[in-house]
Amino acid sequence: MTGSAGIYIAVIGAGGVGRHFLTQCSRLLPKFPNAALVLISRSNRSLRVPTFSHALSLSTWEKDLAASNDPAISPSEAVDYLSSAPGKCILVDNTSNQDIAASYPDFLKKGISVVTPNKKAFSSDLKLWQSIFESAYPSHPQGGLVYHESSVGAGLPIISTLKDLVETGDEVQKVEGVFSGTMSFLFNNFAPVEGKGGKWSDEVKKAKDAGYTEPDPRDDLNGADVARKLVILARIVGLQIESTSAFPVQSLIPKELESCGSGDEFMEKLPAHDDEMAKVKSEAETKGKVVRFVGSIDVASKKVQVGLRDFDKGHPIAGLKGSDNIISFYTKRYGQNPLIVQGAG
């Protein structure tokens, strides 16, 4: 690609998420001859085109990146590099790096659009959230665009749906749902609607072995990931939530196991606490219900919470299968029948 009418794409993070993204690019970018991949950076090295006169190869990028002697590019260097491009630029941040997230306003002010699944940018300090959107179009007339759909619900249209409701004048009253594919898989198998289910530690092990949890399952069981997603959605509906510490988040990590030195040690000791979760399941069953791990935002009361709740067996949340997410939007327009988005998260 040559000329000044192009779209220049920079990718930060070329690990698991980044590799899948670049695989998608190899299929999609040939359909857009004016778009070019010009920068790939990972934790220890980077690869870029020096003059924007051609694109990096999407068929050999892994080999080319491995052979590069250029160090990882810093956020400020990336801003300067992309600012010199002769056309529109898009930064795709596939990391969960807080320093990169903190630099988004710098990119946006230069007209560089940002696309990212990085939850930290939108769920950490409220001032960063405000700075990001004050630096982006349309608040900043020359600013870049921001797309972070996959920071909540992965590929599900959660953020875009909520934004459409807000921007078309609907009054959002409550948002509620299962926001974690990991937690969905765990509870759908631990406490299925039809009864029985396995021991808690066995289900956690199954989820870990199947790749649903982080290498250390405590990173899922502490509820922090769900809490970050709730902060993002609460801010979209107008609540000034400072951080995840501003509301109750229930952790499913037994206190005695919080100090375990590794995920493996945690898994070894978890069976000794199966009775605690069995009691939670049994108490729900005596009421004819099932227990699920959910997040909710009550807009009127400005109340956000994350944790265990019991649901009637006929409730949509109770009937989830596999690792599906389900998010219900209760609004003035939709009345008592919420708008529901459901699918793999």
**What amino acid is encoded at 32 in this protein?**
F
Strand, helix or coil at 147?
Answer: strand
Structural tokens at position 50: 């020096």
**C-alpha to C-alpha distances, 110 to 13, 114, 342, nearest whole angstrom:** 21, 11, 37
Q: How far apart are CA 297 and CA 155, in angstroms?
A: 21
**In this structure, are strands 289-298 and 172-178 parallel, antiparallel, or unpaired?**
antiparallel
Q: How far apart are CA 152 and CA 162, in angstroms?
A: 11
Q: Is 229 a catalytic residue?
A: yes
Whether the bond into 138 is cis, omega within 30 of 0:
yes
Strand, helix or coil at 111?
Answer: coil
Reference 220, options 185, 168, 174, 247; nearest CA is 185
- Catalytic option among 229, 269, 281, 303: 229
List alpha helices for 255-313, DSSP H: 263-269, 274-286
Catalytic residues: 229
